[in-house]
Each structure stands twice: as structure tokens, then as C-alpha cells.
Amino acid sequence: MKQAQKRAHWAAIIEQQKQSTVSIKQFCQDNAIPYQTFYYWSKRLREDEQAQT
């Protein structure tokens, strides 16, 4: 998977969590996503957004 594809994939996952009614921890457990990986990508995408502005 190319870097741009990874970013799009994780952006979609993070958006799904935002729209869900469960906590981040529960969302990760329900979707078999490592908690640390979710936060890594969340932080990375936020930093990328800030760098673009």
C-alpha cells in the first residue's frame, strides 16, 4: 500500500470513529485495531493538516 493510500485508509477509519457512538478504545477493540496504531495515525494526520496550513 502506498503512502497516500495509507493516509486515505486511516483518515476513513478515524472519521468512522468520530461518527460512532463508542469510545476510541471500544471502537479499536470492536474493529481489531491496535489502540496505539489508531493514535499514531490520528496524530500523524493532524500534524500533516497543520503543516499544510
Which phi-psi region, left, alpha or beta, contains residue 29 (left: φ > 0; alpha: ψ -120 to 50)?
alpha
Helix axes 35-52, 3-19, angle to 10 degrees: 110
Give pLDDT tens digits along the chain (53 positions): 799 999 999 999 999 999 999 999 999 999 999 999 999 999 999 998 888 87
> How high is the pLDDT of residue 50?
85
Contacts of 24 (CB under 8 A, 6+ apart): 17, 35, 38, 39
pTM to 2 decimal places = 0.87
